[in-house]
Structure 1
Amino acid sequence: MSAATAYGANDRSGAAGWIAALSSTVLPVLTIVLAIVAIWYAASVMMNRAWTLDEAERRGVQLTVMEIVSDAMNQERPVLPTPHQVFDELWSTTVGEPVMRERRGEMQGNPRNLVFHAYHTLWPTILGFGIGSFLGILLAIGITHSRAMDMSVMPWAIASQTIPILAIAPIIVVVVSNLPALNNAVSQGWISEDTKLLVPKALISAYLSFFPVVVGMVAGLRSPQATDLDLMRTYSASRGQTFWKLRLPASVPFLFTSLKVSIAAALVGTIVAELPTGARFGLGARLLTGSYYGQTIQIWSALFMAAICAAALVILLGALEKIVLKRMGARS
């Protein structure tokens, strides 16, 4: 066999292997997505056809099956919007609307743009996530090194998560909104009313995000085996050296796994917090407005934007995890 023939065979085999690998990863996902879309369309027709039939009966019109299906999939205020209606709403409220618009001679955010609402939700989410993660790491370190904290604090941390966030959110909003320091800052013009609402949203976000970090970090800090700890004692390592050289590096994979769960919980906390705060902007405010006026398509588009934001945050944490683990010498 000549060199050119061998190269061509290797090239074809390489292309075939690439196509096979792509098919094994893409086709299952694509199949599931298509199945979900098909079920979604079928459910939309089933749930929306009642209004179509009632209108046809009221007007004395006889509709064909295709006319019923077409009307059920394109209603202005459907019970269950179809995928193309949600996609059109997402497109028109992101690409179709400018993020900023001129109002009263100055550039301001456009409330019709979902990116603008996502920004107002992501900012307290990231702030609360940072606060909750920091407190969670500190609490996990204390639980790992103190048996008293392990026996006393950990049960309370677990019990705190049994309180429904919908019950505690209004309490936090009322208490924080009536703090004299914040009210004085607003009256003096140091902060705006919207900035004041940022505080309870960040606190509720931190409340939901700290627990996964505590659990993950405790598991990570306790992951070194007894032989590893015995080896550190053999080298006469102090508790601080054991922590920095052994426990903390071993906990990094556990930490990033818990952070991915935590950031999603933080986003949920912010959206829930926007409901009782009376926020004008944010995905939670968008959901509330849609429910007031029966705009189901608006509600679903806001939900999808929230899912997109959560996926983007998790992907960013995953990229950061790969960078950190690579710097630590982990093999990919």
Structure 2
Amino acid sequence: MTSSARAFPASRAGAFRQHPLVERHAPIATIVLILIAIWYIAAVLMNLSLVRDHFEREETPYAVSDLLEGTMSAERPLLPAPHQVIASFAESVFGYALTSPRSLVYHSGVTLSATLLGFVLGALLGIGLALMIVHSRVLEKSLLPWIICSQMVPILALAPIFIVALGAMGLQGLLPKSIVSAYLSFFPITIGMVKGFTSPDPMQFDLMRTWSATPRQVLSKLRWPSAIPYLFASLKVAVTISLIGAIVAELPTGAEAGIGARLLAGSYYGQTIQIWAALLASAILASSLIGLVDLTERVVARKMGTRP
């Protein structure tokens, strides 16, 4: 075999490792595999005593292999194994009609509706507050500290208050959950946009004043373009917080639909696999929403002639 022939497989392997898709996804895949391995180890350790107690109560002889198999297939494990969660998730998604109360797609759709409405309300409120703060020193000194203080109270304590108060006002269903979601999501957008609107160099503001630009022109020609990167960074944080707010808002209401309802039902009946399947659905939903915001950012950046 010639040296060129021996070098061909090595060069081919090197080219494979340098492929853009491999370079981009290999680190992520490695981390995921490590986390799954840790998850399996934790499931064995946490479920081991549960399975051993079961064998001893039944007075059934067992071997180490029986214990390991039991930790991977327990009906109500302390920590379900990844394959149990995936199997339950697949059954809930593909095993029922989309409108069935047992379908995770149905529950995810209910939570997604509240999330999107709350996200839009929070984005509008956050941008509006940021505009007022950057145009008024009085509001910057008086309003901004209260906006920061508003996030110091845990949402688990505030959500029941919001739900009860809004219910007394006749607001029920989707809107109260959306308001809780908006309450969480407006904060990062407000802070991010205040930073974005004030990010241009002071010399640029002086130049606009030299040109006798109106406040509206300064906003449209200088402040707003400079704030776009801050806007999308804030939106990525806000959209995930909106989802958390929608799920948390479903808990104190005893809702019959939504991911929060699935979590409640699983906790009531000790169905840990159902709980983890609902958590997996929320993680997929959050990743999809972040991906949508990221795609929108790329489209906007391309139209503006900048890099995201």
State the partner residue of 1:130. 120
- Deviations 1:234-280 (CA, angstroms, capped at 9, x unpaired): 22212211111000111011001101100100100000000111211
Query: What SS is found at the alignment partner of 1:73?
Result: helix
Any residues of structure 2 matched to 1:204-219 within 5 Å, and which? 204-219=180-195
Q: How does 1:1-332 map to 2 (within 5 A)?
A: 17=15, 19-21=17-19, 22-99=21-98, 109-180=99-170, 182=171, 196-331=172-307
Q: TM-score, normalised by structure 2?
A: 0.93
* Shift, 1:15, TM fit: 9.0
Which position in structure 2 is the counterpart of 1:186? none
What whole-Å deviation, never above 9, does each CA across 1:58-87 have from its counterpart, x for those lacking one? 222231111100011100110000000000
Aligned letter for 1:33? V
Shift of 1:145: 0.7
Identity among equivalent positions (%) equals 48
Residue type of the partner of 1:112? R
Deviation at 1:165, TM superposition (A): 0.5
**Contact 1:197/1:277 (8 A) holds in 2:** no
* In structure 2, distance between residues paired with 1:83 and 1:247: 48
Tell me the amino acid that sits aligned with residue 146 of structure 1: S
The Cα of 1:314 is off from its aligned counterpart by 0.5
Alpha carbons 1:290, 1:298 under 8 Å: kept: yes
Tell me, in whole angstroms, the C-alpha distance in 1 between the residues paired with 2:173 and 2:66: 48
Q: Does the CA-based 8 Å contact 1:173-1:200 persist in structure 2?
A: yes
Output the aligned Cα RMSD.
1.7
The alpha carbon displacement at 1:27 in A equals 2.5
Q: 1:197, 1:279 within 8 Å by CA — same for their partners in 2?
A: no
- AA aligned opposite 1:43: A
Q: Structure 1 pair 51/15, CA: closer, same or farther in 2 (3 Å)?
A: closer
SS of 1:138 mapped into structure 2: helix
- In structure 2, the gaps of 5 or more residues are 1-9
Distance of 2:297 and 2:90 partners within structure 1: 31
Alpha-carbon distance between aligned partners in 2 of 1:133 and 1:150, rounded to the nearest angstrom: 19
1:18 is displaced (CA, Å) by 5.5
Q: For residues 74 and 285 of structure 1, what CA distance do their matches in structure 2 show? A: 25
Task: Give the C-alpha shift of residue 26 in structure 1.
Answer: 2.6
Matched residue count:
299
**Moved beyond 4 Å, runs of 4+:** 12-16
Question: How big is the shift at 1:16?
Answer: 5.1
Residue aligned with 1:227, SS: helix
Q: Return the letter of the residue paired with 1:330.
A: T
1:93 partner SS: helix
Q: CA contact under 8 A between 1:144 and 1:218: conserved in structure 2? A: yes
Alpha-carbon distance in 1 for matches of 2:294, 2:303: 14
CA contact 1:111–1:117 (8 Å) conserved in 2? yes
Q: How far off its partner does 1:24 sit?
A: 2.8
Q: Deviations over 1:80-108 (max 9, x none)?
A: 00000000011011012221xxxxxxxxx
How many Å separate the matches in 2 of 1:18 and 1:42? 32
Helix, strand or coil at the partner of 1:278? coil
Give the residue type in structure 1 aligned to 2:275.
I
Give the aligned residue type for 2:243: L
CA distance in 1, matches of 2:205, 2:12: 47
1:204-256 per-residue CA deviation (whole Å, 9 max, x = no partner) reads 00000000000110010011001211221222212211111000111011001
Q: Give the gaps of 5 or more residues in structure 1.
A: 1-11, 100-108, 183-195
Residues 176, 200 of structure 1: 8 Å contact kept: yes
Find the aligned partners of 1:229 and 1:15 in 2 and give their Cα distance.
54
Over residues 266-321 of structure 1, what are the superposed CA-to-partner deviations in whole Å (9 max), with x where a residue is unaligned? 10000000011121100000000000000000000000100100110010010011
- TM-score (structure 1 length as normaliser): 0.87
Bigger shift: 150-159 or 14-23?
Answer: 14-23
Contact 1:271 1:284 in 2 (8 A): yes
